[in-house]
Amino acid sequence: MVTAPIHNDSRDGSSSASGAAGSAVLVPGSSTGSPLGSKPGVSAGTGRPDSRPRLVRSRDPEAHPVPTGREEEWRFTPLRRLRGLLTGPAADATVEVSVDAPAPVTVEHVGSGDKRVGRVLTPADRVAAFAMTRAEDVVVVTVPAEAMPDEPVVVRVHGTGGTVYGHLVVEVGAFASATVVLDHTGTATFAGNVELSVGDSASLTLVSLQDWDAGAVHVGAHAARVGRDARFRSFTVTLGGDLVRLSPTVTYAGPGGDAELYGLFFTDAGQHQEHRLLVDHGPRSCRSRVAYKGALRGEGAHAVWIGDVVIGADAVGTDTYELNRNLVLTDGARADSVPNLEISTGEVVGAGHASATGRFDDEALFYLMARGIPADEARRLVVRGFFAEIVDRIEIDSLRERITAAVEAELGGAG
């Protein structure tokens, strides 16, 4: 069967984007990958275009319609495998949450009524709304202004089965700098939100590891708000689970914000791993980079990557580029990749995207083997090289090693 429905690579630079000055241009990147602005007639209205996601934003679950599976937001997701999360079943279990926080970082456990809940995230779907209203143990991590802890904050979430709602708030004060590692292991039917507030001129790195056991279901909204001249980097690493569906979003609170969103996933037989990104450029002169790379292996492995970037009418000087690469290792796997770029000003520094899904390069394998390297090792080298662009950026040695080892363990199972 054909396993790679999307195969495109478009690099849209500032020159083409600037031609769209003063009008709204909607570029549905998906499988065509057409250069920006090269499709006259797609949409050239005045005013703000209809932003595809974000139809309803509310913390009230009942404000969100129950999806049928035909909606754009849900069409890739196997709803039956959500274990009822869309109907908000009562929690019947807990996850073990432990937090290692170096001084002067503080950790609080509060209820969902705490005023810090919902400051950054307004749920865009029922699952996120349920997680926000039903989470009994909301963890609030605060990095005081100007603090620069040497060690990362580590939040471990270990599931022991059953349905659980979770909510994590991270607030980083102005001029502070911190790294937060969010480590999901075990198994659960888990609806978990993350809200990240990065203060002005602050810096936050988030590493979110989805290292679940085979049966886990995890649906999560990860919302970050990046302050003026602040920097946010995230690494979203999804390795396990039966179904993982994450929606990382970035908004900017002021000019000069910089967000880099990196992702790595290894989708094994029968797994559904979906990453739906939205970077919303509101203020001027912000920057975003998105790079997600995935490998797929085995019958029924399904990876979905949606990359939405919205550049508002006031977001002059925006510099954005997003990329998704998928490596299909075997027959029977499927990768969907849909980049979308929606631009309401042409006065940008750069706006582009690229998406490509390809099979394992047999010529690379031949080349390495022709130099004496055995097939298994050659395969490992190629896949490790494919992910190096992401993994090498992670500055925590132990995490880098753990991720590399996990990827190689996945490959080892290929036989």
Q: Check if the beta carbon of residue 114 is closer than 8 Å to that of residue 137.
A: no
SS3 85: helix
- Contact between 371 and other proteins by CB under 8 A: the answer reads yes
Task: Report the residue number, 136 or 361, with the smaller CB distance to other proteins.
Answer: 361
- Contact between 385 and other proteins by CB under 8 A: the answer reads yes
Task: Report the residue number, 239 or 378, with the smaller CB distance to other proteins.
Answer: 378
Rounded least distance, CB 121 to other proteins, Å: 35
- Contact between 114 and other proteins by CB under 8 A: the answer reads no
Which region, judged by CB under 8 A, interacts with other proteins, from 40-48, 62-70, 115-123, 367-375? Answer: 367-375
Which region, judged by CB under 8 A, interacts with other proteins, from 126-134, 268-276, 340-348, 382-390? Answer: 382-390
- Contact between 413 and other proteins by CB under 8 A: the answer reads no
Task: Report the residue number, 80 or 371, with the smaller CB distance to other proteins.
Answer: 371
Rounded least distance, CB 302 to other proteins, Å: 25
Q: Check if the beta carbon of residue 220 is closer than 8 Å to that of residue 132.
A: no
- Contact between 377 and other proteins by CB under 8 A: the answer reads yes
Rounded least distance, CB 404 to other proteins, Å: 12
Which residue type, as a one-letter code, is found at position 259? A
Q: Check if the beta carbon of residue 333 is closer than 8 Å to that of residue 267.
A: yes
State the Cα–Cα distance between residues 18 and 25, nearest whole angstrom. 11
Among 389, 393, 400, 404, binds other proteins (CB under 8 A): 389
- Which residues fall within 8 angstroms of residue 47, CB to CB, at 6 or more apart? 24
Task: Report the residue number, 132 or 382, with the smaller CB distance to other proteins.
Answer: 382
Task: Report the residue number, 228 or 325, with the smaller CB distance to other proteins.
Answer: 325
Which residue type, as a one-letter code, is found at position 276? R
Task: Report the residue number, 52 or 393, with the smaller CB distance to other proteins.
Answer: 393
Among 388, 405, 409, 414, binds other proteins (CB under 8 A): 388
- Contact between 378 and other proteins by CB under 8 A: the answer reads yes
- Contact between 401 and other proteins by CB under 8 A: the answer reads no
Distances (CA, A) of 110 to 57, 126, 215, 345: 23, 22, 29, 42
Q: Which among 340, 199, 188, 327 has a CA at the least distance from the CA of 256?
A: 199
Q: Within 10 A of 196 (CB to CB), how many other CB atoms are there?
A: 24
Rounded least distance, CB 323 to other proteins, Å: 13
Q: Which among 230, 228, 234, 232 has a CA at the least distance from the CA of 247?
A: 234
Rounded least distance, CB 46 to other proteins, Å: 43
Write the burial class of residue 372 (CB in 10 Å: 0-12 exposed, 13-18 middle, 19+ buried).
exposed
Among 55, 79, 174, 369, binds other proteins (CB under 8 A): 369
Which residue type, as a one-letter code, is found at position 330? T
Angle between helices 375-391 and 397-412 (to 10 degrees): 140
SS3 128: helix
State the Cα–Cα distance between residues 155 and 101, nearest whole angstrom. 8
- Contact between 79 and other proteins by CB under 8 A: the answer reads no
Task: Report the residue number, 214 or 388, with the smaller CB distance to other proteins.
Answer: 388
Which region, judged by CB under 8 A, interacts with other proteins, from 62-70, 213-221, 276-284, 361-369? Answer: 361-369
Angle between helices 362-369 and 375-391 (to 10 degrees): 120
- Contact between 374 and other proteins by CB under 8 A: the answer reads yes
Which region, judged by CB under 8 A, interacts with other proteins, from 7-15, 127-135, 330-338, 369-377? Answer: 369-377
- Contact between 415 and other proteins by CB under 8 A: the answer reads no
Tokens matching residue 255:
């000019």
Task: Report the residue number, 38 or 330, with the smaller CB distance to other proteins.
Answer: 330
- Print burial letters for 38-67: b (CB count within 10 Å at least 16), e (below 16): eeeeeeeeeeebebbbeeeeebebeebeeb
State the Cα–Cα distance between residues 176 and 180, nearest whole angstrom. 13
- Contact between 368 and other proteins by CB under 8 A: the answer reads yes
- Contact between 60 and other proteins by CB under 8 A: the answer reads no
Q: Which among 270, 279, 353 has a CA at the least distance from the CA of 312?
A: 279
Among 115, 150, 363, 415, binds other proteins (CB under 8 A): 363
Rounded least distance, CB 56 to other proteins, Å: 41
Catalog residues that contact other proteins under the rule CB under 8 A.
361-364, 366-375, 377-378, 381-382, 384-389
